[in-house]
Amino acid sequence: MDLRHRKGRRPLSDRERSVLEAVVRTYVETAEPAGSRTLTRRYGFGVSAATIRNTMADLEEDGYLTHPHTSAGRVPTDLAYRFFVDSVVQPEVLTAAEKSRIERELRTGESTLERVLQNSVRALGILVNELGVGSVPQLDAARLEKIDLIQVSSQKVLMVVTVQSGIVRTVYVDLPGEAPADILEVIRQVLNERLGGLTFSEIRRSLGARLRDAVEDPAARDILNIFVESGGEVFEAETAGEDQVVLGRTSSIAAQPEFSSRERLEELIVLTEQKELLAKVLGTRVARGGPFVTIGSEHAPELAGFTLVTSGYRFGRLRGILGVIGPTRMPYEKVIAIVDYTSSLVTRMLEP
């Protein structure tokens, strides 16, 4: 995890580190600003409340703490959470009971990719009271298993492309005239013989060359060329779009104190409607694996009031992301542990 809290800033003393950790933990637990007397009672620093108050003032001057106008207590800034995550957090070791509960939540219903992802983001929301989020793997590295051609009408054929582990992509192909069934069968065989076992990226780079002179019959060649043009669409790499993101329920996260105001609740609702933005954000995290945490102002403006905790999962050669979105006030040790375990469990469930 990055160390942005250190850039251009003086090192914190041991007391400052301890007080900063205490403020973060107190605020995460209570959702109330932490005052010097409260911290002194809870953590017994061995110094007076006045000394702790002065330390908190220094931390506020350095940008780690702030305080609401109506309170003498302090709350952590994004910088404080970043320090906490980078320098303090050790993910919890989940108990056998906690692991069993996660497994029960995930192992319900079908074991298709779509169902596993839906179960996962729903379970994450329930387990950590945040908004579960997941990304569908991009298919660039997927290997083609087979192509089927289904005649829908006299001049329309459905091209069904099946890739590893049952993922399917389809495209309708319009023909200039009726194509005899025997010609369609020849084209289906050619497509499977020439393209089967290749990745989407390999097919895109060499589609025309691999199918050039594949059939001798002029009528079949003309129809095959139409499928080659349509293949450019079906074998394109996935772009970041709404169908690339799976979201859990907002009910758990909406009940948190941060969203008690109408303005903050509207921010959350607007965020859930911006799936294309979320797809782009998750797409940048695929190569990082996990766990990976970004906080508040480290995001685009639409996510500036939130923390995003993610971890990668694998689906054969494909990779996707699972995680949660929540307020920056978050029990990071528990959330990171649950997100990481869930993603590893999803990988095991999707193994062939």
Mean pLDDT, residues 83-106: 92
Statement to judge: residues 111 and 51 lie in one domain:
no
- Whether residues 37 and 109 fall in one domain: no
Interatomic CA distance for residues 298 and 289, integer angstroms: 18
Distance, in Å, from the CA atom of 20 to the CA atom of 276, rounded to the nearest integer, reads 36
Please check whether residues 53 and 176 belong to one and the same domain.
no
Q: Is residue 352 packed enough to be buried (19+ CB in 10 Å), middle (13-18) or exposed (0-12)?
A: exposed
Q: Express each pLDDT in 52-66 by its tens digit.
A: 999 999 999 999 999
| pLDDT one-digit tens code per residue, 224-236 | 888 888 776 677 7
34, pLDDT greater than 90: yes
> Do 340 and 93 touch, CB atoms closer than 8 A?
no
- Looking at residue 345, what is its pLDDT? 94
Residues 60, 171 within the same domain: no
Q: Which of 147, 145, 140, 165 is nearest to 230 (CA)?
A: 147
Q: Tell me, yes or no, whether 249 and 133 share the same domain.
A: yes
pLDDT tops 80 at residue 352 = no
Residue 226 and residue 79 share a domain: no
**Amino acid of residue 171:** V
Task: Give the end of a domain, one of 234, 254, 272.
Answer: 234
pTM of the model: 0.78
What CATH number is associated with residue 14?
Answer: 1.10.10.10
Residues 181-215: tens digit of each pLDDT: 888 899 899 899 988 888 888 888 888 888 888 88
Tell which of 234, 254, 288 closes a domain: 234
Statement to judge: residues 72 and 188 lie in one domain: no
Residue 219: give the domain boundaries: 144-234
Give percent of the chain above pLDDT 70: 92
Per-residue model confidence (pLDDT) at position 218:
83
CATH number at residue 226: 3.30.390.60
Is 120 in the same domain as 256? yes
Please report the pLDDT score of residue 238 as a whole number: 55
Nearest to 83 by CA among 31, 14, 12: 12
What pLDDT, on the 0 to 100 scale, is given for residue 113? 78
Tell me which long-range contacts 53-60 makes (C-beta under 8 A, separation of at least 24): 55/15, 55/16, 55/19, 56/19, 56/23, 58/16, 59/12, 59/16, 59/19, 59/20, 59/23
pLDDT, greater one: 83 or 252:
83
* Angle formed by the axes of helices 78-87 and 14-30, nearest 10°: 110
Structure tokens at 67: 């305080």
Reading the block at residue 298, the tokens are 């480290």
Question: According to the model, what pLDDT value does residue 154 have?
Answer: 81
Q: Are residues 40 and 133 both part of a single domain?
A: no
Confidence of residue 5 (pLDDT cuts 50, 70, 90): very low
Total of domains in the chain: 3
Based on the fold, state whether residues 160 and 256 are members of the same structural domain. Answer: no
Residue range 239-248, pLDDT digits in tens: 444 558 999 9
* pLDDT at res. 85: 96
Task: Answer yes or no: do 130 and 244 share one domain.
Answer: yes
- pLDDT of res. 237: 57
**What is the model's pLDDT at position 69?**
75
Mean pLDDT of the residues in the chain: 86
Q: 273 and 124, same structural domain? A: yes
Q: Give the span between the Cα atoms of 258 and 267, in whole angstroms.
A: 11
Q: What is the CATH number of the domain that holds 279?
A: 3.30.450.40
Among the listed residues 347, 350, 342, 352, the one whose alpha carbon sits nearest the alpha carbon of residue 309: 342
Q: What is the mean pLDDT of residues 257-271?
A: 89
Q: Which of 87, 108, 130 is the last residue of a domain?
A: 87
- At residue 81, the pLDDT reads 97
For residues 279-298, average pLDDT: 89
